Structure 1
Amino acid sequence: MNINSKKANRLINEKSPYLLQHAYNPVDWYPWGEEAFEKALAEDKLIFLSIGYSTCHWCHVMERESFEDEEVGDLLNKYYISIKVDREEHPDVDNFYMTVCQTFTGSGGWPLTIIMTPTKYPVFAATYLPKEDLFGRPGLKTVLLKINELWQKEKERLILIGKEHVSSINDFSRKNAGDLSPEVIEEAYDVLSSSYDQKYGGFFGAPKFPMASTLLFLLGYYDYKKDPMALEMVKNTLINMYKGGIYDHIGFGLCRYSTDKIWLVPHFEKMLYDNALIAYVCAETFKITKDEFFKTFCVEIIDYVLRNLKNPEGGFYTAEDADSEGEEGKFYTWDLQEIKNILRENADEFIANYNITEKGNFEGKNIPNLIGKDLSCKMNEDTRRKLFEYREKRIKPFRDEKILVSNNSLMICALLKAYGITKSDIYKKEAETALKFILDYVFDTDGRLHVGYKDGLMRGKATFDDYIYLIWSLIEAYEYTLDKTYIIKAKSLLDETIELFYDNEEGGFFLTGNDIEHLPVRTKEVYDGAVPSGNSVAAYSLIRLSRLLHDSKIEEIADKQFKVFGGKIKKNPVSYTFFLYAFLHNLKGIEVVISGNNPKIFSAYLMSNFLPFTVWAYADDIKDIIPSYENYQPIDGNTAAYVCKNGSCKSPVTTLEDLKKLLEIDNK
């Protein structure tokens, strides 16, 4: 698009890369805010709401087809007030209207297309719409004209439809209560076992997503039941993901998901959260198996993030686009002759091992992959470097340079897990630098956390997910550094989280704070999708924090999480796998307390081994803020470890071998 001949709209003043991508559309876009709704009320017009994100392939397609089109722009400007939202800047808005779309259509995705009344009640929902009618489905032009006609002729009916949908969402959000029992763990495992692809790994067929929450649940189930099949499903899925085209064999890092069952053809965008979560899973899998492959997978992902997504001041950018030069995957795909020219005498081996052909496997080009090959066929570093250096000369995909609290918190957790298995201080330093950046730059002057940072604070106030993910990262930071400032900050942030988001009447946490009133209702989310839900992470983190802080009030809130959402989870447990991972922690949780002048003799072991339901604390450093830790003392001048469960501690031990024995006993 030649922007020199275009007139900028209001989005030109925004910070969001996604909104700036639409700043020269002929659509008279508004950012999310009161100005747009006041104008819609004054002119009695419907709102056209479009939600997406900067690296979304189909968002780009809809922009090229419709939002850059003068005819569509004229329709929207004449009959609607149009609002463009970056889902990562306003995750609460995205979550609410995605729920709307799912109630209207049974599915969701981006770009998300909503038409609603000036008072925010939805009357139409869809995802991508072509400009013109296609295969019997109405296109965007038809929808815009038809819904406006209904607004002029049957306004009250449309308003009633919108109110009914909002009411049903509100009712559905609240009717979740019920007791959980261990049987729900078995039900989830049985569904996963029956849907598992034994050849290529993954679950439920194509398209295939990384599903980190599910993999973590299976690792937890393996610890719970010692079922080797649970571990095998995780190992095989990770190995096949790595072999597939979803993984970038040249520059590392995972793409968003695979369109097929063999992990070959991805949507090529690379998201920070996917890479953080799979690195986390790989580290945990290595702790069990001690198989160097999983450590390598973890470290390669982190190397990609540190190289491509790191902000020099601290923190990590959000994503890299699927498209470059207007084509999906162009940066990542290869011609056969191109490979031959670069690698010369070494080309044949790479071509054979990475399934490179004249015909190609993606729109006439090749996505390098190891599908059907052994991991020993992996290219050597010299070959990879040559291909990487050649590829670096290409026009690169767009990089979204927002630094989001939620995604960064996940990456901090992954870095600390990598530190645990490698003992490389680089990963610990990067985690602490990112955490410091968030704590220093993403709080407003009034102390309120925002969703992220880009050239200053981003517009949106942080959601519950942002707060609870940050608390999760602070707990990990405490355990992996034994620096009490992290646990102190986690507690103070939790106090604020409860004040802003907790439902004091029914329990559970709302996604939006009580200081925000820009949506028709406040909802609670517990579904574990690409990332774990906030309420699932709350169940997990509050259990851990209650044990670290010896705080019965936090424990009560954690325990109530399982009752508030138990009924909903029992209906379809496989959709709430991280919540069930937290439930396993509730069933099996162990606390290790270290006292003495050499805590590393125990903490190094705790960091590097798979102990998913164990928390640990250093009594000497934390007893000034938690007096009960005074009860834990060294034994005859030797550093001691106490293993506690359900409020009862075994006799302390002073050797690592004795600690291992105690943990093995408690883990049975």
Structure 2
Amino acid sequence: MTEDPSSGIDPSRSSCQQNRLCKEKSPYLLQHACNPVDWYPWGEEAFEAARREDKPIFLSVGYSTCHWCHVMAHESFEDPNVARLLNQSFICIKVDREERPDIDQIYMAAAIAVSGRGGWPLTVMMTPDKKPFFAATYIPKKGHMGLTGLMELIAQVKEMWDNDRESLMSSANIIVDHLKGRQSGRGAGVQKEAHKDSLSGSPFDSSLLSRGYSALSSIYDPENGGFGTAPKFPTPHHILFLLRCWKRTKNILPLEMAKTTLQGMRMGGIYDHVGFGFHRYSTDPEWFVPHFEKMLYDQALLAMAYAEAYQATGEEEYAQTVREILEYILRDMTSPEGGFYSAEDADSEGEEGKFYTWTAVELKESLGEEDFRLLIRLFDVYESGNYEGERNILRQRSSFSDAASVLKIPEEELYHRSSDMISRLYLAREKRVHPLKDDKILTDWNGLMIAALARAAGALQDPDLATAASRAADFLLEVMRTPEGRLMHRYRQGADIQANLDDYAFLIWGLIELYEATFDVKYLKAAVHLNEIMDKHFWDGEAGGFFFTADDGEELLVRKKEYYDGALPSGNSIALLNLLRLLHLTGDTSLEEKAALLARSALPAVSAQPLGYTMLLCALDYALGPTYEVALVGSLEDGGLKEMLAAIRIRFLPNKAVVLASGSEIVMLAPFTRDLVPVKGKAAAYVCSDHVCQLPATNAAELMALLEKN
């Protein structure tokens, strides 16, 4: 692999005048260590300097694989004239949003409040006591078409700071009041009103699921799949929700919406047909031209969605997509220690998408004329290019079965020829300059990938995937925990940065999935323990729900609590699902009360706009049931138990909890397993649903009859 010399991960390689960021570990901050801007990392040193020098703060938030972050950096932060103005007028702080999502959340909310827009790079101007008076996203160096440029804005703010500071302070107070009002207005009184026994006393019911489905249907694109127009994001939790709507209602329409969306993405340019994995989003409604960066969390959540679609339909194309996504992760995004890297950039050699796109000449050189002609038919490429500058983005024109019929080639033969062509293109592409890889390991995103690998291991009946998940989990549990058992958020040259809610919730999710994939009790034990720590340090005892930051974390402008499921599900949505699953795995009824409190705290937000809470609706679907607890008794080497376990894993049964009743450790965690025994010497499955238990099943057919009767 050839590295991109322009990536700037390690500024020590070049002879530049380094600023304070040269001592940081974040690849994003290190990219800016040679800027003429006198950057500070977030910390008291910067705020003390602002107070001492009586200057406002210029806060820039981004991440290492963000294309427009690179644009603003090259255009402004590398420019000596812009840097001189910034250094004269501000104390400048750089933040990696992936390292400090707590900071990013607060000031992104300010940007949305001020401008109605969010995204990265995030540009904030604020007082030395962290109160924002201006917030926006990308700002060009110079103004044009009525837009104020950064150089003009700096001058305007300096003038106001020196001569009309009262106006800036007034703006800051209005923004802060908005942020604090937004935070404190949710869920008041929830703790006192919550039902003490179960979610049955909650005002949540299946009508909220119906409203969520109707809202999603209203923005569905029936021609291309997906939701809304351009830019079009994958949003895998929409797919997870649709599959549950289909399962609950037996209505075929949500399944068809999910299938059309998954097929559109898999065939489109948003999918990397050569090296596998998905790009961040499509810039058009047809999934054709992507924003080329690749994020770990997208791969995890999309692998989960395709795995569930395979369980629901049995269609092999979904299984193949899962295999390819995970092949990409295990090949290119896995550290020697077993953890998973964060992202790959959109840019290489200073150009977005250069690594991923092809000229006709490059394709012919790699494939030869005959296979190039076949590639044209299969992947919609042109001699003149289908993208910028005579370059081509590969996108699949039709399914292999349809293409084989048109080309009069046996489908299996066409598939093998296509795979051979893809392999040759991959080898040719490996010789190119690669995009930057952000090699930090984040606990929350790794938790998602562990969950995806574990779920795929069962759906595809591939124990090697569970082994990879176990290796990552063992790394996190060993390296990313303090002696007191608390999690850390980031690993790069050591573990540091206090963990947030998503770190706990997502890793607990991964550990639950991994327990059900391996039945290694240490993972369930770790999930229970981390859930207890999360409850102790993140729970809002006044209004219910979990705060994003710990009670002993850095004091920021506000302590946020988020329910909204955006590009990532919220920590509260996953925490609700975790509580319900741990309840059914362990029988600990106190978790049901906590789940009820959490659900009630989310009610005002999800009731007002269910479309923005599809992962929380998945958790609600679990809560409403029917939910099945399955306790297996017997040896994992027993043929009968293997058959029952395989039958469970290959089917779409989202609202189940499966425990292996074997050994004293599981009895300690799940006392209800104590007296479960084989039936007449045969492995057995004990099934309970909605507090009612059935006679044990001793074969797969009996078990499926119990699990699929509703």
CA contact (8 A) 1:209 1:258 kept: yes
The secondary structure found in structure 2 opposite 1:380 is helix
Post-superposition offset of 1:634: 2.5
Q: 1:375 matched to which residue of 2?
A: 400
Q: 1:35 matched to which residue of 2?
A: 45
Please give the residue correspondences for 1:270-285 in structure 2 after superposition, counting only pairs within 5 Å.
270-285=294-309
Match of 1:361 among 380, 386, 391: 386
The secondary structure found in structure 2 opposite 1:364 is helix
> Percent identity between the aligned chains?
45
Please give the residue correspondences for 1:560-639 in structure 2 after superposition, counting only pairs within 5 Å.
560-588=597-625, 589-597=627-635, 598=638, 599-621=641-663, 622-639=666-683
Q: 2:77 matched to which residue of 1?
A: 67
Q: 2:464 matched to which residue of 1?
A: 426
Query: Is 39-48 or 354-363 further displaced after alignment?
Result: 354-363
Match of 1:232 among 245, 256, 270: 256
Q: 1:83 aligned to 2:85? A: no
Per-residue CA deviation, residues 343-363 of structure 1 (Å, 9 max, x unaligned), is 113211112321211332221
* Distance in 2 of aligned mates of 1:582 and 1:422: 24
Please give the residue correspondences for 1:306-455 in structure 2 after superposition, counting only pairs within 5 Å.
306-344=330-368, 345-376=370-401, 377=403, 380-455=418-493
Per-residue CA deviation, residues 603-652 of structure 1 (Å, 9 max, x unaligned), is 33222211101111122331133323224332233222222122221222
Per-residue CA deviation, residues 430-451 of structure 1 (Å, 9 max, x unaligned), is 0000111111111234533111
* Distance in 2 of aligned mates of 1:380 and 1:333: 18
Q: 2:21 matched to which residue of 1?
A: 11
Please give the residue correspondences for 1:194-205 in structure 2 after superposition, counting only pairs within 5 Å.
194-205=218-229
Gaps of 5+ in 2: 1-5, 191-202, 404-414
Q: 1:646 aligned to 2:656? A: no
CA contact (8 A) 1:180 1:567 kept: no
Query: Is 449-458 or 242-251 further displaced after alignment?
Result: 449-458
* Distance in 2 of aligned mates of 1:14 and 1:437: 23
Post-superposition offset of 1:193: 1.6
CA contact (8 A) 2:359 2:392 kept: no
* Distance in 2 of aligned mates of 1:281 and 1:174: 34
CA contact (8 A) 1:265 1:367 kept: no
Post-superposition offset of 1:371: 4.9
Query: Normalising by the residue count of structure 2, what TM-score does the alignment of the two structures yield?
Result: 0.91
AA partner of residue 255 (structure 2)? L
The secondary structure found in structure 1 opposite 2:123 is strand
* Deviant stretches of 4+, over 4 Å: 1-5
Please give the residue correspondences for 1:186-225 in structure 2 after superposition, counting only pairs within 5 Å.
186-225=210-249
The secondary structure found in structure 2 opposite 1:83 is strand
Q: 1:130 aligned to 2:154? A: no
Q: 1:501 matched to which residue of 2?
A: 538
Q: 2:195 matched to which residue of 1?
A: none
* Distance in 1 of aligned mates of 2:505 and 2:566: 16
From the superposition, tell whether residues 620 and 447 of structure 1 become closer, same or farther in structure 2 (CA, over 3 Å).
closer
Query: Is 468-477 or 4-13 further displaced after alignment?
Result: 4-13
RMSD of aligned alpha carbons: 1.6
Q: 1:516 matched to which residue of 2?
A: 553
Per-residue CA deviation, residues 94-142 of structure 1 (Å, 9 max, x unaligned), is 1111111111111200001111110111100000110000210111112
* Distance in 1 of aligned mates of 2:315 and 2:672: 40
AA partner of residue 442 (structure 2)? L
CA contact (8 A) 2:377 2:397 kept: no
Query: Is 312-321 or 626-635 further displaced after alignment?
Result: 626-635
* Distance in 2 of aligned mates of 1:118 and 1:261: 43
CA contact (8 A) 2:563 2:605 kept: no
* Distance in 1 of aligned mates of 2:255 and 2:34: 51
The secondary structure found in structure 1 opposite 2:389 is coil
Query: Normalising by the residue count of structure 1, what TM-score does the alignment of the two structures yield?
Result: 0.97
AA partner of residue 79 (structure 1)? S
AA partner of residue 391 (structure 1)? R
Per-residue CA deviation, residues 229-258 of structure 1 (Å, 9 max, x unaligned), is 111111111111111111111111100000
* Distance in 2 of aligned mates of 1:100 and 1:66: 23
AA partner of residue 699 (structure 2)? T
The secondary structure found in structure 1 opposite 2:495 is coil
Post-superposition offset of 1:37: 0.8
* Distance in 2 of aligned mates of 1:522 and 1:78: 32
* Distance in 2 of aligned mates of 1:61 and 1:514: 37
CA contact (8 A) 1:421 1:607 kept: yes
* Distance in 2 of aligned mates of 1:352 and 1:651: 57
CA contact (8 A) 1:51 1:111 kept: yes
* Distance in 1 of aligned mates of 2:53 and 2:668: 62
The secondary structure found in structure 1 opposite 2:335 is coil
AA partner of residue 469 (structure 1)? F
* Distance in 1 of aligned mates of 2:70 and 2:116: 24
Per-residue CA deviation, residues 235-283 of structure 1 (Å, 9 max, x unaligned), is 1111111111111111111000000000010010011110111111111
The secondary structure found in structure 1 opposite 2:662 is helix
Match of 2:521 among 458, 472, 484: 484
The secondary structure found in structure 2 opposite 1:48 is strand
Match of 1:52 among 54, 62, 75: 62
